[in-house]
Each structure stands twice: as C-alpha cells, then as structure tokens.
Amino acid sequence: METETKTALQHERDEKAARMLEIYANRSFKSVRSAQRMRLRLVMWAIRHKIQNNLKRIFDFLIASVTLVAVSPLMAVVGAIIKIDSPGPVFFKQERVGKWGETFYCYKFRSMYTDAEERKAELMAQNEADEVVFKMKNDPRVTPVGRIIRKLSIDELPQLLNVIKGEMSLVGPRPPVPIEVAQYQFDQMRRLGAVPGITGLQQVSGRSSLDFKRWVELDLEYIAEQSLAKDIEILARTIPAVLLSKDAY
C-alpha cells in the first residue's frame, strides 16, 4: 500500500514537472518568436528610414541644382545691387548648428551692415522675440536693400549651395547659431534631430509672429512626421508664404 502511494505521488510529481516544462517551453518559444518579430520590425524600420533619407537627399540635390541654375541671373543682379547699396561683401556666411550638433557655415546674401554682430549687444534690450531668438521688426542693422531681400526671402537663395553640399535640406528646422543652442533646454535640443532646411513647417505657419515655444513644437511635429510627401507639401505652401511676405522681417 505504502509503495503504491509513493508511486502515485511520484507519478503526480512527474506529471506536474512535465506540465511545467511544457509551459516554460511554450513561453520560451513565444519569447523567441516575439524577439524575432521585434528584430524584423527594427530591420524593416531601418530599411524604410534609409530609403526615405536617400529619396529626400536625391530630391533635395536635384531640385536645388535646377533651382540654382534657374535663379542664377537673379542672384547676379541681387549681388550687384548689394555691392552698390553698402560697403562690404555680397555674401554672408555664419556658423550654424545642424543635425545632431554638427556645425557648418550657412550662406546668405548680406542683408546687414558689416558691423551688425558688434551692434547686436546694444540692441538686446529691444529684442521682440522670446527666449533664445533675437528678432527686431525695424532692426537698424539691416540695409535698405536688405529689407527687401529679407522680406521676399531672397537672402536665403545662396543656401541652395548648402543643400547641394548635403549640409542642409530644402525642408527642415531652421539651423540655429551655436550661442542659441547653448541656451536650449533639454527638450528643445530635440529640434536638432533632423537636417536643417531652407524652409519648414514654422516658416509656413507664421514665421516671425510665432514664439519660440511654438516654433519648437512645429519643428518636432515635422521631425516626427517627415516624409517626401510632407516636404513637397511644405514647399508648395512656401510659395504663397514668400509672395505674401506675411510676418517676414
């Protein structure tokens, strides 16, 4: 009797052990399957991201190259007028911060007098923007011709060279200067997560009328949703924004 009881208990323990092994085996199998699916999703995401970036780069290069050739006569005329209007170089280059903090020199037509940077400190009290950005509607450092080309965004045309070089994109967050980035809060650093652009969601949503908080929100929205279709949409919206020159100075 005692032997039969021991045998029954042993049999019961063996059955429980077998069930437990089966449960653990199923869980392990499911875990392996889950891990495999996760790896597959990551690989597919990386491939899609790479393709998207390559398409954006090809699109930027082609459009920037064609546009640069098309507007070269206009740029020659603007350069001559700038030279006549005030002493100094035709072009202005400034160190800017790009994707992931990479710095580069951003090109523009000179729209200010040559002592603009030295005079900035004395004008800080009249800053009409908030936080880290400096903006003045009637900035005395801007030349007469500079007011016109800034209003029409013609001063940004030399940045097509930055796009061709791969330092900028046609569409993306505007590249800040290092002194601005040094004042960023942690969340604001996230706007450096994309290649900077000549135009962007901020430029077609209010330009200089937006406060910096809203500016960052729009940049982060673009980064989260960026695609070639989104870029084309923003470029299409840029044309009327430039022609109307609303909130531009």
pLDDT band per the 50, 70, 90 thresholds, residue 178: very high
Angle at 102 between CA 101 and CA 105, to 5 degrees: 120
What is the rounded average pLDDT of the residues 143-154?
94
What is the rounded average pLDDT of the residues 60-77?
97
Q: How do the domains of the chain map onto residue ranges? A: 56-244
pLDDT band per the 50, 70, 90 thresholds, residue 135: confident
Interval 225-236: pLDDT, tens: 989 999 999 999
Q: Which residue has the higher pLDDT, 22 or 171?
A: 171
Average pLDDT, the chain: 86
pTM over 0.85: no
Q: CB-based contacts of 101: which residues, under 8 Å, 6+ apart?
A: 181, 192
86 pLDDT more than 80: yes
What is the rounded average pLDDT of the residues 132-137?
79
213 pLDDT more than 70: yes
Instruction: Give the distance, in angstroms, between the CA of residue 165 and the centroid of all CA atoms in the same chain.
Output: 16
**Percent of residues, the chain, with pLDDT higher than 70:** 82
Instruction: Give the distance, in angstroms, between the CA of residue 54 and the centroid of all CA atoms in the same chain.
Output: 16
What is the rounded average pLDDT of the residues 194-198?
96
Exposure string over 169-180, b if 16+ CB within 10 A, otherwise e: bbbbbbbbbeeb
What is the rounded average pLDDT of the residues 196-216?
87
Q: How far apart are CA 244 and CA 249, in angstroms?
A: 12
